[in-house]
Every structure is written in C-alpha cells, then in structure tokens.
Structure 1
Amino acid sequence: MTKPDKSRSEHLSAEFADMFLQPATAHSQQVREVFNSIPTAVAALCAVVDGEPRGIVATSLAVGVSYDPPMVSFSAQTSSTTWPYLRRAGRIGLSILSDEQIDECRQIASKAGSRFADLETMPTERGGLLVKRAAAWLECSISAVVAAGDHEVVLLQVEGVDMRPGSEPLIHHRAGFRNLAAMADV
C-alpha cells in the first residue's frame, strides 16, 4: 500500500480554500446563476392533442439516458398549462431546435398569441408534431413521470430519430441563446 502524496493533498486543499458553497435556496439568484451557467440544447416538445397543436420548450433535455432501449428525459414545470395536454399525447415530437430558430423557440414558448401560427411543422403518424428546419428530431412516447419539486421529470422512450446534416443545435446558456463555435479537438 502506498502512502498518500502529502504535497498533492496540500495543493488540493489550497486550491479549494477560496471556494465556499452557498446554501442552495429555492429560486435564489445563486442557484439560478449556477444552473444557467451550464449550456443545454433547446428542445421543442410538440403533439397534436384533441385536434389542436400543443407545444412547450425545454432546456432540461438529457439525451442518452439509456441506449437499450433508447431514452431521453426532460423536466416540465408543474405550473405549465400546456404540459397536461402533452402528457395525454400518444407520441410527442421532440425537435432539437437549430441555431437558426430563435424566433421559433420564442413563439412556441410564448404565453400570448398562437404558438403555431405560420410555424412549419410535420405531424407524425401517431400524433407527434415536429418542427421543420430543426437540427434533429425524435419521436417519443412517455415511459415514466416522476415528481421533482416544482417540476416533473419525464422519461421518454425514443421511437424514431432523424437529423439535418450540417445544422447546429440552439444552445441555452447564461439565460440567453448561443450557438456552437468551431472548436479544436482536445
């Protein structure tokens, strides 16, 4: 058994000496700043329910939750008036919005006006609704819903996928929209 490297542990202690964790208080500025500092893709989750298009925007998408079977997840606010409709849908069209779709994102997320007026969409055979010109599309069915504070975590089984080659996803970061910059491999 080797002895711990004392100089390494002293270095780590010094490195973290200035770090001080703030209490994670609900809706605090500190929590919002930390959550918003993590870049996420922007997804439109849409379906035709009772003959009407319904949709929400989520920045809480987690892909690759499972590969067998393929699954993703997102979180829906319990205060959402649209999520209860989508929850009843047989299939949900999940569109990873492209970096060209800031206006479409704002339109689907809007609480005023028609979320789908002049919006180019593609219905799926089973009721999902996909947004045209998105970076990627997934047709999903709800596998499970778990209560999580003021949200519900929704586990989706992916039933179909496609992507638009050459497009880049719209990114939500620091309470604003970004696109991916060219990066060197590391």
Structure 2
Amino acid sequence: MNTSSPRAEAREFDTLQFRQALSQFATGVTVITTRLADGSFRGLTASSFNSVSLDPPLVLWSLGGGANSLPIFSGNSHYVINVLGADQAELAKRFSRRGDNPFEGVEYTLSRTGQPILKGASAWFECHNRSRYPEGDHVIFVGEVEHCSAQPQASLIFHRGQFASTQTE
C-alpha cells in the first residue's frame, strides 16, 4: 500500500520558524550508547525517540545524516537507549558535545550484549539494530527491543530550548 503523496505543497515558513514551532513540543531526553569492536564506547544525546510497535517491540530514534557517529551506529548490531532521569541534564549536555570522552567518570553497567547502560536512567532499552531509513537530512533507526527496564522516577524533558522535569511536586 503506497500512502505517500506525489509532492508536498510549497512551504510558507523558514527553518527558524519551523524550529520554534517544534520547540513547543516537549520531548524526553535520551542518550544512545553502543560499544565498538575495540571495546570502547560511544554515545550521543537524542530527543527523537518514540515507540513504534508492541508486537514485535520496536522503537525509533533519528540521527543527522552528517553526524560523525552515523557510521558507528549504522554498523553496530546493538545499542542501548537510556531515558534520562530528571537530575541528569548535565549528562545530556556531556553527551551532546564533540571531542572529549563523555564516558569518563560516568557510572554504567553493561547490558547482556556488552552495551553501556547509564546509572540513574529512568528507563533503558537494549535494541538490535533492525533497520535504518534515510529521510530528509536524518537517518531513522528502528530498533527491536531485546531487553528493557524502568525505574519509577521523574524523567528529563526538553521544551522550548530548556531542560525541565516531569516532576510535578
């Protein structure tokens, strides 16, 4: 079944307007982690996480097509999506920067396939790297969840360019 339209109408907004409109939607904050063949770890901050299916259990996230880490995440068989807790904004910032090793001094355990699970995450999903779809200037990753866990706590969110919490007290 083909559900795509032949062509979208011409846009009447610019990139800044689009970004401002998107910022009105609060998103959760995740750090996607993986282990390389040499045993080192890589990770990045992403707010583009969503559920896809319960049966089979599928989730998705996206990464910019020009990201240095794209070949790493495209080529690895597994990764972990760590949903950050309300008190982990500094961790989100750390994994969004280029250069330094963001794992230095960070507490984690290893998943069944050896992927890093960040301590204090409100949930985590260990995924088999099932498929990837280039769309626009990003690549959409679909992961099949093999293991997951949750800690009942407030989660970190991102809204209007700021970190916030799901904490209502």
TM norm structure 1: 0.80
> Equivalent residue for 2:85?
98
Is the Cα contact below 8 Å between 2:82 and 2:125 reproduced in 1?
A: yes
CA deviations over 1:109-160 (Å, ceiling 9, x no partner): 1113111110111121213221110000110011111111110111111111
The answer to whether the aligner puts 1:178 opposite 2:152 as a matched pair is: no
> Equivalent residue for 1:7?
none
Measured in 2, the distance between the counterparts of 1:31 and 1:180 equals 25
Gaps of 5+ in 2: 1-10
Counterpart amino acid of residue 23 in structure 1: E
Number of corresponding residues: 158
Mapping of residues 1-186 of structure 1, within 5 Å: 23-25=12-14, 28-50=15-37, 51-63=39-51, 65-165=52-152, 167-182=153-168
Percent identity between matched residues is 25
RMSD over aligned CA atoms reads: 1.5
Measured in 1, the distance between the counterparts of 2:86 and 2:45 equals 14
Measured in 2, the distance between the counterparts of 1:148 and 1:104 equals 28
Counterpart amino acid of residue 59 in structure 1: S
Counterpart amino acid of residue 143 in structure 1: R
TM norm structure 2: 0.88
Which one has a bigger Cα radius of gyration?
A: 1
Measured in 1, the distance between the counterparts of 2:168 and 2:67 equals 36
Deviation for aligned residue 1:24: 4.1
Measured in 2, the distance between the counterparts of 1:151 and 1:23 equals 22
Q: Secondary structure at the match of 2:17?
A: helix
